Amino acid sequence: MHIFINLPVADVERAKAFFVAIGWSINENFTDENAACVVIEDDKYLMVLRRDFYQTFLDDKQVGDPATTSLALISFDLPSKGDVDAFVDRVAAAGGVVGRTQDLGFMYQRQFDDPDGNHFEPFWMDPVAAQQGPPAE
């Protein structure tokens, strides 16, 4: 199964530059002036769509503004805490807005927003804890 997450952006070229700067790539076969296909991994993609183009998919709904309204929390795992920190360092260098860090022992999570305000949460989870499920309260 391939996963495509569609995000509204004000400027497709700015979004492309940001996502390339943090280490992802662009699939030019699915990229034009309206949208860009950002390749996260072989079967995971972001489609960054110009806001007015994004609107054409919504029928009666309005496009939310990710700068002021949470549209989604996009989370993805990385192999280690160090990888999470290195990734967020690239985000900061590329102009992303870095949020809080949460270390729960079994899980380490950082937050950032892209230049349009779309929210991401890279994390690392201890593989043993992942097998056991959430801690009992």
pLDDT tens per residue, range 16-51: 999 999 999 999 999 999 999 999 999 999 999 999
pLDDT of residue 106 exceeding 80: yes
**CATH classification code of 69-137:** 3.10.180.10
- What are the residue ranges spanned by the domains of the chain? 1-54, 69-137
> Residue 124 — very low, low, confident or very high, per pLDDT cuts 50/70/90?
very high
Buried-exposed string 1-29: b where 16+ CB fall within 10 A, e elsewhere? eeeeeebbbeebeebbebbeebebebeee
pLDDT at site 52:
95
C-alpha–C-alpha distance, residues 63 and 52, integer Å: 8
Taking alpha carbons only, the member of 79, 66, 71 closest to residue 114 is 66
pTM above 0.85, yes or no: yes
CATH architecture of 1-54: Roll (3.10)
Average pLDDT over residues 94-113: 96
pLDDT at site 133:
63
What is the residue whose two structure tokens read 């729960």? 104
**Phi, psi at residue 40, to the nearest 5°?**
-85, -50
